[in-house]
Amino acid sequence: MRLDRRDTLIEAVREANATKEPKKVAGWLVHQARSWIAAPCWVVIAHDANRELSIIAEEGLTPNLTPSLWAAGHWVMRHGTEFLAGDLARDSRVPQGASGSVIAFPLVCRHHTVGALIAIDPAPSASVPALGAALASSFRLILESPAIALHNALALQKAEELSVTDDLTLLNNMRYMNQVLRRESKRASRSGRPLSLLFLDLDGFKQVNDKHGHLAGSKALVEASVIVRTSARDSDTAVRFGGDEFAVILPDTGSDGAIAVAERIRDRIFACKFLASDGLSIHLTTSIGVATLPDVAVSAEELLRAADVAMYRVKDGGKNGIHIAQEASAF
């Protein structure tokens, strides 16, 4: 495909902006790049929400090529210019361990390098790949629109993530919980599968703020959130509901499975020495309510209400326990 053709540029503008999803923008770019310049492997990398470089899309990437990918990728992201190498093993610009030949272009938007498009051939070349002035110029021009599209898609993704993330603990927030709970309750009703919800409150947390200050209280909340998140399963959704209250949504989980997760959270909270890094040894406990759809609820709102009531049953009964909605026994 001729890169200097007007219809090629128009197609790049149209297709790159046809989606707002970073993976689809990058996926289109790596797929199209193979028709522009023949290479066994094409990859797009960019910074993720944690400012770590990650692979957004790839075609032909194999494990033996990853050292070469990151060697070229980090160089392009650091310098913001093209990187061409015939034999990475002999190239002083990159760390040892890389091999093969590489062509890498920065993806630049508003004078900022948002990512890189990288072609890798595992076979080294005796000479540096020669694109030629005209081809290199056409390549830079045609990458402008995909770079802008990728920047916009990543920015939108970050904004969406921030809108459903608790600033302090980085758990999902109540807004996200409501979305997931509504979706999962409808799915559970259709499939006939159970859906459980844990609602938990840290016992005596107010004393941490009163005695050690709100900064210490915030750090304790972060430590508690790590326990909640790591005690839940990959399929579960951990949420900071507000203050020192947390929730965990457990799809396809009956009361027995929910109790197992609740017990794990309760035991780990009880065993933790909070603020140990500050020279303190604060012990907290937690009260947990468990509710399961369809056992005690038929909607997301009823499930949340049942779990909340169950949690307060534990509070009223002495704290540091687990109560199942509409059942009298606490564990």
Residue with tokens 């109560």, as numbered in its chain? 323
Residue with tokens 């929400």, as numbered in its chain? 49
Q: Can you give the CATH number for the domain in which 99 is found? A: 3.30.450.40
pTM of the predicted model over 0.85: no
- Report if residue 212 sits inside a domain: yes
Cα Dmax for the chain: 79
- Report if residue 154 sits inside a domain: yes
Check residue 8 and give its pLDDT. Answer: 55
Does residue 305 share a domain with residue 196? yes
Does residue 103 share a domain with residue 82? yes
Check residue 330 and give its pLDDT. Answer: 41
Does residue 10 share a domain with residue 159? yes
Alpha carbon distance 232, 227 (integer Å): 9
Residue 76: closest CA among 109, 39, 116, 27: 116
Q: How far is CA 153 from CA 28, 106, 172, in A?
A: 13, 17, 21
Residue 102: closest CA among 77, 121, 74, 115: 121
Does residue 243 share a domain with residue 131? no
Does residue 192 share a domain with residue 158? no
Give the CA count within 13 Å in the CB-facing half-sphere of 175: 8
Q: Can you give the CATH number for the domain in which 196 is found? A: 3.30.70.270
Does residue 110 share a domain with residue 12? yes
Q: Tell me which residue range forms the domain holding 312.
A: 174-324
Q: Determine which helix (DSSP H) or strand (DSSP E) holds 219, and give its type and residue range.
A: helix 214-231
Alpha carbon distance 125, 275 (integer Å): 56
- Report if residue 91 sits inside a domain: yes
Q: Across the chain, what does the average pLDDT equal?
A: 89
In tens, the pLDDT along 55-104 reads 999 999 999 999 999 999 999 999 999 999 999 999 999 988 899 999 99
Check residue 13 and give its pLDDT. Answer: 55
Of 299 and 2, the one with more pLDDT? 299
Give the Cα-Cα-Cα angle 258, 260, 262 (nearest 5 degrees). Answer: 70
* pLDDT of 328 higher than 50: no
- Report if residue 196 sits inside a domain: yes
**In this structure, which amino acid lies at residue 243?**
G
